[in-house]
């Protein structure tokens, strides 16, 4: 918001008189919302203007010193009295009923003395489960204003990384523990399955739980569930398998005893996806002969590279969907996605995306996926364009939007 350098009053005399009379009522609110370094006069003036509806819905007030105040439906000043805050991806939201038409006050927490957020998420169930809350933002949705599969995968990854950071185990790597960092080890995902019961809309609030468990001797399983924050309905489930790679040699290695000892206190024997509903079937390989659609010339950008110096695993989803027919993207929701990672990808690599329709899952009684009641199933492959080396195999299941948007029984 532009701040005038003039010392002249910016209100008419009558409005200025009203603001002066309102200062006593708003001072307590301002003290709780703005940093101490913010000029008191400016703070009072901003809050009073909001109370007078000078700021329209979702108007942004930008005071000094990194404090962000976002007011929805500013005509309802009682929203300034919200208490019992809950954290939303580093942002605190007053615990009031949240609907698409309800006013909502959001403010960013000021950094602590170490320059880190005062709160990101929290541990529950004796620190076995890490819980974090997010708002679905406009740029995280597609043309239909619902969250995309890429958005969900990014939120899952963010929650996992924050669990490690909040546990006190974080080293200097991307999700690596201290013992892993000492040995120059990193985590890499080998397989992940995400199943969506219902997608969230722009402005919805979701709550994500994540936990880990052993997966054999040299792998770790990480699971997630996503709930609707208001109703606590589980709307997405996901499970994944991770192994350890040497950051310098890029070779897989066993989990060292010291790393295992760091992880064991956080292991939880619980699964997010029931065994009979989990997609554990082999993903067939596509090639030039059996692929129905091939999209070439897919090139990673600098922004696609993560802190482990390879393409972030979420980026593959967009490339996979490049070869899916447009009418499927428009008329169907992606209800299940299984990714099987075979090789890491670097910025210099050029990729091809292959897709082929494999089955009508609802009518295929011999397919173990029938419990998920999908209408379409596709098989996918991402490979290097120059030598056809496989990067990712994938399977997707789709349901018509009319069916998928019906309330669950």
Catalytic residues: 308, 310, 345
Q: Which two tokens stand for residue 170?
A: 């974080």
Measured at the CA of 162, the angle between CA 161 and CA 168, to 5 degrees, comes to 105
Q: How many other C-beta atoms can be found within 10 angstroms of the C-beta atom of residue 10?
A: 11
* Cα distances (angstroms) measured from residue 116 to each of 36, 110, 149, 175, 300: 18, 9, 29, 17, 31
Close Cβ partners of 163 (under 8 Å, ≥ 6 residues apart): 121, 130, 210, 212
Close Cβ partners of 116 (under 8 Å, ≥ 6 residues apart): none
User: For residues 350 and 304, is the Cβ–Cβ distance under 8 A?
Assistant: no
CA-based end-to-end distance of the chain:
47
Q: DSSP string spanning 273-308? A: S-GGGS--SPPPPP-TTT-SEEEEEE---GGGB-TT
How far apart are alpha carbons 275 and 290 in whole angstroms?
30
Three-class DSSP labels, 175-197: CCEHHHHHCCEEEEEEEEEEEEC
How far apart are alpha carbons 194 and 131 in whole angstroms?
18
* Cα distances (angstroms) measured from residue 306 to each of 148, 161, 238, 347: 20, 13, 22, 10
How far apart are alpha carbons 90 and 207 in whole angstroms?
13
In terms of Cβ atoms closer than 10 Å to its own Cβ (0-12, 13-18, 19+), residue 302 is: exposed
How far apart are alpha carbons 283 and 359 in whole angstroms?
13
* Cα distances (angstroms) measured from residue 103 to each of 82, 87, 334: 11, 17, 31
């Amino acid at each position: 918001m532009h701040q005038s350098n003039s010392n002249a009053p910016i209100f008419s005399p009558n409005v200025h008189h009203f603001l002066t009379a309102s200062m006593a009522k708003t001072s307590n609110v301002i003290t709780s919302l703005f940093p101490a370094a913010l000029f008191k006069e400016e703070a009072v003036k901003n809050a009073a203007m909001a109370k007078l509806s000078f700021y329209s819905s979702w108007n942004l007030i930008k005071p000094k010193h990194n404090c962000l105040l976002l007011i929805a439906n500013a005509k309802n000043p009682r929203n300034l009295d919200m208490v019992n805050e809950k954290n939303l991806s580093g942002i605190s939201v007053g615990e009031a009923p949240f609907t698409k038409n309800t006013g909502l006050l959001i403010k960013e927490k000021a950094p602590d003395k170490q320059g880190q957020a005062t709160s990101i998420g929290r541990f529950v169930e004796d620190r076995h489960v890490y819980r974090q809350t997010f708002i679905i933002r406009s740029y995280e949705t597609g043309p239909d204003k619902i969250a995309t599969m890429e958005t969900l995968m990014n939120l899952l990854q963010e929650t996992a990384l924050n669990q490690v950071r909040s546990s006190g185990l974080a080293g200097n790597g991307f999700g690596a523990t201290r013992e892993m960092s000492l040995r120059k080890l990193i985590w890499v995902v080998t397989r992940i399955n995400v199943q969506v019961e219902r997608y969230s809309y722009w402005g919805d609030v979701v709550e994500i739980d994540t936990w880990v468990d052993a997966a054999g001797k040299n792998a770790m399983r990480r699971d997630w569930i996503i709930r609707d924050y208001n109703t606590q309905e589980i709307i997405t489930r996901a499970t994944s398998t991770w192994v350890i790679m040497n950051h310098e040699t890029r070779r897989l290695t066993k989990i060292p005893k010291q790393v295992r000892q760091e992880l064991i206190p956080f292991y939880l024997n619980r699964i997010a996806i029931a065994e009979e509903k989990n997609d554990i079937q082999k993903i067939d390989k596509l090639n030039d002969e059996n692929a129905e659609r091939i999209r070439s010339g897919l090139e990673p950008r600098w922004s696609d590279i993560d802190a482990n110096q390879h393409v972030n695993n979420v980026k593959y989803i967009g490339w996979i969907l490049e070869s899916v027919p447009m009418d499927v993207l428009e008329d169907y929701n992606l209800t299940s996605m299984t990714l099987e990672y075979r090789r890491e990808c670097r910025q210099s690599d050029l990729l091809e995306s292959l897709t082929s329709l494999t089955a009508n899952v609802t009518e295929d009684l011999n397919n173990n996926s029938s419990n998920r009641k999908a209408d379409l199933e596709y098989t996918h492959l991402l490979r290097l364009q120059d030598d056809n080396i496989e990067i990712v195999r994938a399977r997707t299941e789709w349901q018509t939007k009319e069916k998928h948007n019906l309330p669950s029984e």
